[in-house]
Chain A
């Protein structure tokens, strides 16, 4: 399950980076455009799979049989992380709106294409639905996150 989580996080990180030009996106395990997701200069997009349900188990190739990928439904938190002081600036709400629109655009594109195959991750995305939004601030870490929770159907 860790492999599919990682694939989906990296896929969404790449999509968000493309959808918001000049932005930085990192998966929860890091290793994308930076080596460590723990310390990044804000604002940046942070992506973390928080739940992963296996709908169908992957099957190994045996004899003349063909290997089948597993089918999964994942709950993913896609966060725009900013410095806690920036939440009161004039540009913050506009930037958050841009971030949410970008994510909505990815969902619309996946729906219009009825999913897609992402070769870099050998990953098939069947759907992406926005489920809800929330915000979290952490005074100790000086960070603020505008979060959109999405569900992703994937095979990989």
Chain B
């Protein structure tokens, strides 16, 4: 039997079949209900996936913005403290000049305090500081 004939016979016969063989039991209506249920579950899981994705993206963005905000805040505070230190340095300088016994100033940027050396009877005796607020 030629190959084409086998293909043709089977194609023809298979295309005639629009129903399952009798020995195979299948309930169309129940299957429709199962299909609807499966579709609903798939849609629901899609919603969960989207929600999880949005949450993760939100958390990541939150972290990035929070980090940026903190960086900015720190920078501003440092800038402010520098300005404040400068102001304090000036004040301390004036005060020391008026008393006439200063030699040098030291600014602690970590604790934002200003120290200056006080000379009493030609020798340094102590460091004083101005507290920041």
- A, B assembled together: no
Binding site for B on A (CB under 8 A): none
Binding site for A on B (CB under 8 A): none
